[in-house]
């Protein structure tokens, strides 16, 4: 199967309000879940719809999305391509994509975003890095953010980088049955030592005659 462009995969976390209350009563400094075992078990009746995309490199006319039975939402960006190196315009070195979801859930449950996966063909010369920023927020206000870096040299290969949101600092939705959450994923290629270029190059996205 040929893999083109970038793929953003959002993993949702569902937890019962009862488990949050139990954790809070046992330790008032704990804001959220009691154990890792509480996550990744969506309750019956969860519906994800109204997926929208917006951003540079995230043109809704060329993206498509899907949600599997475990409530993992994947957005495909078949035309996304980042390039970096001598003579490459700065606009081509970065991409950002906002993905919005409407989520309906049973009463007594809340949720957050556990992680965002970015999948694409990475190729980075020595001295070049890719900075990947992940954020999410609710229409009611709570938000969470994290980032990471892929450092060259990195061979031309299909790679998945995961931006995780720490368990105890994760923002959770309000208790209403339906809500809206937006994830923001930003990728930028740059020199490891900004201002001291090695002349290296890099790319992420569309493979050149590569398939798996």
Position 31 in a domain = no
| Residue at 119 is within a domain | yes
93 belongs to a structural domain: yes
Residues spanned by the domain of 190: 47-211
Reading across the β-sheet that carries 143-151, which strands appear in turn? 47-54, 94-104, 178-191, 128-138, 143-151
**Residue 11, domain member (yes or no):** no
- Greatest mean pLDDT among 9-18, 21-30, 174-183, 203-212 lies in 174-183
CB 77 within 8 A of CB 63: yes
Does the predicted TM-score (pTM) go above 0.85? no
Residue 3 within any structural domain of the chain: no
Tell me if 110 is assigned to some domain. Answer: yes
* In contact, 126 and 195? CB cutoff 8 Å: no
Q: What is the pLDDT of residue 31?
A: 41
Note whether residue 1 is domain-resident.
no
Question: Which pLDDT does position 53 carry in this prediction?
Answer: 92
The count of domains in the chain is 1
Whether 42 is covered by a domain: the verdict is no
Q: How many CA atoms lie within 13 A of 96 on its CB side?
A: 12
Q: What confidence tens digit (pLDDT) does each residue in 89-128 have?
A: 999 999 999 999 999 988 888 888 989 999 999 999 999 9
């Amino acid at each position: 199967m040929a893999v083109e462009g970038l793929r953003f995969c959002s993993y949702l976390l569902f937890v019962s309000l009862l488990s949050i209350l139990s954790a809070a009563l046992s330790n008032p400094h704990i804001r959220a879940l009691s154990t890792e075992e509480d996550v990744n078990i969506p309750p019956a009746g969860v519906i994800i719809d109204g997926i929208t995309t917006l951003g540079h490199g995230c043109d809704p006319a060329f993206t498509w999305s899907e949600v599997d039975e475990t409530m993992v939402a994947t957005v495909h960006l078949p035309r996304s391509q980042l390039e970096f190196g001598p003579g490459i315009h700065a606009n081509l070195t970065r991409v950002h994509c906002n993905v919005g979801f409407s989520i309906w859930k049973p009463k007594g449950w809340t949720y957050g975003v556990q992680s965002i996966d970015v999948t694409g063909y990475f190729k980075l010369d020595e001295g070049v890095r890719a900075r990947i920023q992940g954020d999410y927020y609710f229409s009611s206000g709570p938000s969470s953010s994290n980032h990471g870096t892929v450092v060259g040299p990195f061979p031309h290969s299909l790679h998945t980088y995961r931006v995780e949101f720490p368990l105890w600092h994760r923002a959770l939705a309000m208790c209403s049955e339906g809500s809206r959450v937006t994830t923001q994923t930003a990728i930028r290629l740059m020199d490891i030592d900004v201002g001291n270029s090695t002349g290296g190059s890099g790319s992420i996205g569309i493979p050149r005659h590569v398939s798996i």
